[in-house]
Amino acid sequence: MTKTDTRSVRQGEELDLQVIEPFLRSHMEVPDGAMQVRQFGAGHSNLTYELSVGDWEVVLRRPPLGPVAPKAHDMQREFKVLQALHPVFPSAPNPLLVEEGDLIGAPFFIMERREGLVYDTAFPEGVEETAELGRALSEEMVDRLVELHAIDYKETPLKEMVRPDGFMERQVHGWIHRFDRARTDDVVSGDRLKRWLVEHIPKSRDASIIHYDYKLNNAMFNAENPHEMVGLFDWEMTTVGDPLADLGAAMSYWIQADDPEILKNGLGQPPVTVKEGFYTREAFISRYAEKSGRDVSDIHIYVTFAYFKLAGIVQQIYARYKKGQTNDPRFAGMHEFVNHLIQHAEETAGLSD
């Protein structure tokens, strides 16, 4: 099957193989031959590449170019998270090697290359588009999230890396600060929404491992069994905290057929979740509650915060673009999406006029 999850490297985001290749060969068993590099094209944040020599393949992740927000894009931390999770959550890829930044001016890590299907804005070539597959993919996404949340983090090395107490309070105030710091003059203030979020911070509940960037195109599925998850990626935001914050974040990415067009198209073309058979957000949340046994009666608070958090993430990307720190044309109109996300969050909270 032809690979469809990588592309030629975008101009300005090239890797210096003249320094990376000797480093890898000195630390790993790499076969003889010329090293090739391709780029995973779906992401808007960290840069992710496939390095290959014949049948030998690995994945390299590094931060975006230019200045980045404090504590964001921490490659060493993501490497340690994967070290902790790979033995207990098979969908997490195996991390192999980390470099702290001396080599190319930015830290990066190497992990195993998983093979399979990625569902983004279309069904992969050769996969029949059916309502049954849409339902099965939806169920798998719910069930793997429940599986992740059921892991006892205290039995993993993550217990030394996290502070679950006060998680939502830190999240709300932290993302308000990040949004304000990255705000540009073409983006609304969101002050009414910020006040509402501070007034509705959920009470602490049992903590669990949360992915916090859980969405369909961060997952990979079995080519022979196209609804079976075989890989889950982008663990940069992973921590231990309120599991409903993870569910809320997942719902901020889960687009459904009757959503407004700007929500469907805010990060490009609509994802496949708008197609027949895929769960609505309500159905996703209902199955999660059934499978996990958790009370989701205040989920609207978490979903409201998730839309605001997504607005902050997109605004950080747009601010880098506006300051000339990246020239990726995909980022040029992101301020409009930020404004809509703030409006959508207000509607989710019941604040719309």
Instruction: Determine the Cα–Cα distance for residues 44 and 333; give it in Å rounded to an integer.
Output: 13
Domain termination residue (choose one: 78, 112, 146): 112
Residue 84 domain-assigned?
yes
| CA angle, residues 313, 315, 321, in degrees to nearest 5 | 115
C-beta separation of 91 from 229 below 8 A: yes
C-beta separation of 34 from 18 below 8 A: no
Same domain for 187 and 63?
A: no
What per-residue confidence (pLDDT) applies to 3? 57
C-beta separation of 119 from 216 below 8 A: yes
What per-residue confidence (pLDDT) applies to 4? 62
Same domain for 204 and 59?
A: no
Domain termination residue (choose one: 47, 81, 112): 112
Same domain for 182 and 305?
A: yes
Burial letters 296-311, b for 16+ CB under 10 A, else e: beebbbbbbbbbbbbb
Same domain for 169 and 57?
A: no
Instruction: Determine the Cα–Cα distance for residues 97 and 79; give it in Å rounded to an integer.
Output: 8
What per-residue confidence (pLDDT) applies to 68? 56
Residue 94 domain-assigned?
yes
The mean pLDDT of the chain is: 92
Same domain for 106 and 169?
A: no
Whether residue 73 is predicted with pLDDT greater than 80 in this model: the reply is no
Burial of 142 (0-12, 13-18, 19+ CB in 10 A): buried
Same domain for 269 and 187?
A: yes
Same domain for 321 and 241?
A: yes
Burial letters 259-283, b for 16+ CB under 10 A, else e: beeebbebbeebbbbbbebbbbbee
Q: Which range (65-74, 111-120, 132-141, 215-224) has the least confidence?
A: 65-74
Same domain for 334 and 232?
A: yes
Domain termination residue (choose one: 66, 82, 112): 112
Domain, as residue range, for 60 = 6-112
We report the CATH number of the domain holding residue 200 as 3.90.1200.10
Is residue 65 very low, low, confident or very high in pLDDT (cuts 50, 70, 90)? confident
Residue 231 domain-assigned?
yes
Question: In sequence order, what are the residues at sequence separation of 6 or more whose Cβ sits closer than 8 angstroms to the Cβ of residue 177?
Answer: none
Same domain for 197 and 67?
A: no
Tell me: the pLDDT tens digits for 84-143?
Answer: 999 999 999 999 999 988 899 889 999 999 999 999 999 999 999 999 999 999 999 999
Instruction: Determine the Cα–Cα distance for residues 151 and 194; give it in Å rounded to an integer.
Output: 32
Residue 126 domain-assigned?
no
Instruction: Determine the Cα–Cα distance for residues 181 and 196; give it in Å rounded to an integer.
Output: 19
Tell me: the pLDDT tens digits for 255-313?
Answer: 999 999 988 988 778 999 999 999 999 999 999 999 999 999 999 999 999 999 999 99
Nearest-CA neighbor of 182 among 312, 338, 74? 312
Same domain for 279 and 308?
A: yes
What per-residue confidence (pLDDT) applies to 174? 96
Q: How many domains does the chain divide into? A: 2
Same domain for 181 and 106?
A: no
We report the CATH number of the domain holding residue 29 as 3.30.200.20
Average pLDDT over residues 151-155: 95
Q: In what order do the strands lie in the sheet with 36-40?
A: 6-7, 36-40, 47-53, 56-62, 108-112, 95-99
Q: Which range (37-41, 65-69, 85-89, 164-168) has the least confidence?
A: 65-69
Same domain for 209 and 320?
A: yes
Strand partners, 98: 109
Residue 125 domain-assigned?
no
Residue 26 domain-assigned?
yes
